[in-house]
Amino acid sequence: MGEPKKILIADDSPTIVEITKAMLKSEGHMIETASNGAEALKKISESHPDLLLLDVMMPDMDGYAVIQALRRDAKPGDPDYVHVIVITSKDKMRDLFELEGVDGFLVKPFFRTELIDKINEVFGT
């Protein structure tokens, strides 16, 4: 495992949030949560996480809108850039092509090892 990261989990499912949070805390990561896209963007501006685990299908502001807002404000290499891994139940290839601007994706349900491997891949550890 690489160095612990500050990770924001944005998902409207409390069950997914709690399971994912437990998986990542056991690896030593610092975890914050958001239940929708607007809350996620607010927390990103306040706490500057290293990584956003983002659900695509959320009420009010979906994951696509969050990604657009993030990538409008910061590009790779910028100090405010936040890595994004999308965690979604959408597994059709045409849906995944819409995920431009993300560092990776996982399809629900996923295993703990898949999540940890994806995070390590994003950070090159």
Please state which of the ranges 5-9, 49-53, 65-69 shows the lowest mean pLDDT: 65-69
**What pLDDT was estimated at residue 91?**
64
Non-local CB neighbours of 46 within 8 Å, separated by 6+ positions: none
- The domains found in the chain, sorted by start residue, are 6-123 (3.40.50.2300)
Where is mean pLDDT largest: 16-25, 62-71, 72-81, 92-101? 16-25
- pLDDT digits 0-9 by tens, 75-115: 777 888 899 999 888 766 555 555 678 888 888 889 999 99
Cβ burial, residue 93 (10 Å; 0-12/13-18/19+): exposed
Whether the full predicted model's pTM is greater than 0.85, yes or no, is yes
From CA 59, how far away is CA 95, in angstroms rounded?
A: 18
